[in-house]
Structures are given as C-alpha cells and as structure tokens.
Amino acid sequence: MKKLINNPKTVVEEMMEGMAAAYPQYVKKLVGHNVLVRADAPVKGKVALLSGGGSGHEPAHGGYVGKGLLDGAVAGTVFTSPTPDVIYDGIKAVNGGSGVLLVVKNYTGDVMNFDMAKEIAEMDGIKVDSVIVNDDAAVEDSTFTTGRRGIAGTIFVHKIAGAAADRMMPLPEVKRIAEKVIANMRSMGVALSPCTVPEAGKPSFTLAGDEIEIGIHGEPGIRREKIKTADDVADELLLKILDDLPYSAGDDVAVMINGMGGTPQMELFIVSRHVASVLKNKGIKVYKTVVGEYMTSLEMQGASITLLKLDNELKELLDAPGDSIAFKSFGR
C-alpha cells in the first residue's frame, strides 16, 4: 500500500484539520470530534442541514459545508458510520433555533446512529427531522443496507434542500423538498478497480485485468463482466436507471456524471457525451449536467450516473447560489 498518510488511525482527523486550516472562510472543526461546521455556524433562525457518514468519499461530506448547502458534516472512520455522540455534537453545533434536518444515506449503521443522535437531541429540546437517501437503482438490498443504498445523488439533496433552508423555509418544508428530490432521483455505478482502506492495507476486493463490476459503490454490485466500451457501459447503467422511476419523453432532468476517485475527467466526459445522446434520442430534456468527482470511494476507478427529474420548484432551487470548498454553483 502506498498512500500519503502518517498513521492509518489518524487519517480522518488529520484530513479534517487540513480542510479547516486551508479553508477557514468556509469551515471550522469541532475540537475533539470529526465534525466540520460552517464558519458562521450556527446561523440563527435558519433550518440547519447536517449530513455525513463514513470517510473516504471526499469531497463528500465536508466539502459541501457552506452557504446554500450543508451547515455541518460528521465523519466516521473510512467507510464506517460516525457514532451517535459525534452526530449529536454536530446537531448541537449547527442548531440555530429553527431545527435541524439530517440527510442520511441508507446504510444500516448510518440510519441507526443518526436516529439515536436525533432522539438524544430531541430530549434536549432541539427540533430534529431526517430524510433517508436511497437513490441506487442497482439493488433492493445489499450487504450493508435494508433497501436501496444512498450514493452520489445525495449531493443533489444537499444542494436543493440547502437552497430551501437558505431561503428560511421552515423545517417541514425543507424536509418536503428533500424528499421530493429523493423520490425523483436514481443512480447507478460501475467499478473498474478496487480501492484500499488505509487501516486494511490491501484492496477491498479484486477484479481481473479485463473485468468490471456493475452496480457498485464500495461494496458488491450486481455482477462482474468483461470490460466494454464506455458507450456500452453507460447504456447498461442508463437502462436500469431509466426503467426504474421510470423517466419518460418530455421529462426535464439534471444529470450527474460522478467519478469514484481514480477516473480521469477524459473518461467521465466520454460517458457524459453518450448519456446526453441517449437522453436526447428518448426525448428526455437535459436541463443541466455536472461532471466531476462529487462522491468518491478513495482511489477506486469507476463512475456513476445520476438522473434527477425536475419540476419548476426543483429547477429554481438547483440554480440557487451555493458556495463551499468543493462546490461553487450549479447556477446558470
């Protein structure tokens, strides 16, 4: 294993300290906990958004802490949920008096620990609600979930619900909008190579030199098969996504082509090119496309595709300004 680290046991804390040191205009780190909050947190009178999960998916989640996005992000060790006490400290740190919405990816540990923290905060008189992101169209149940996994589409939830909160909407409205995003969004990914968790010191799985895994995000997918062209892989992912909601001619969509950490932008744009062509041929109108690394799996080679069906309300919030370490704006 070759990684630019000091000690596998301190990678998360040192990463977050580095983020806070480099970008104090955006974030500050809570002393003693792996929690990043907005530099001006708590923002009085505004519903606060708190998200998080296992580390290794950077820039998620700390990279999205900022105006018009998240108020805070909590981090567990690599690919492991943060503990309830850390989440609880995050809730307290971002609460500006109008309540906190937890954006939770659907993994068993995340759901359980965020729910425990929510209950503790409510006993302290803090208004807390939550939404569960489950955009992965690959599998109904997986190794670490009951129901679909939450993957890269989570960033659309951060952006749109964050814009709603920034407009001082009340907690029930911010939750309604977040749930609308979740209901109208599907994602699916592919892995070309594994990643190495620092504390494990070896790849998390193995693939042959000519093999890929369809429907993966850091854990087993649907199946393994021989490597195909970018267009063929994109077709395979899109077929499942389009049929699942389903998406139809005349729909307006936002598209995210997400890299897993080790994929050159050259390859992501080749995938994006074909996705645009397929959607055009099906009469599905692309309102906006974003291409880049939004939610990764360490240095894994691979990509995911996310489609979000839009109405006028979601378009307006998607276009609203947002500013954080990893995000400037989806606005036109």
**DSSP structure string for 46-74:** S-EEEEEEEESSTTTTGGGBEETSBSEEE
- Per DSSP, 148 falls in state P
SS3 183: helix
Contact 271, 214 (CB under 8 A): no
Please name which of 149, 138, 303, 155 lies closest in space to residue 234, comparing C-alpha atoms. Answer: 303
Answer for the pair 234, 278: CB distance below 8 angstroms, yes or no: yes
Is there a catalytic annotation at residue 33? Answer: no
Burial classification of residue 15, based on how many CB atoms lie within 10 Å of its CB (0-12 exposed, 13-18 middle, 19 or more buried): middle
CB 26 within 8 A of CB 38: yes
Taking the C-alpha atoms of residue 208 and residue 224, their distance in angstroms, rounded to an integer, is 10
Q: Cα–Cα distance between 15 and 330 in angstroms, integer?
A: 26
CA distances from 331 to 68, 300, 326 (A): 12, 29, 15
Options 33, 61, 217, 274, the catalytic residue: 217
Q: Give me the residue label for tokens 């530099």.
A: 39
229 Cβ contact list (under 8 Å, min separation 6): none
Q: How many CB atoms are closer than 10 A to CB 243?
A: 11
Active-site pick, 33, 57, 158, 274:
57
* Pairing mode of beta strands 72-78, 48-55: parallel
Confirm whether 274 is a catalytic residue: no
Enumerate the active-site residues: 57, 217
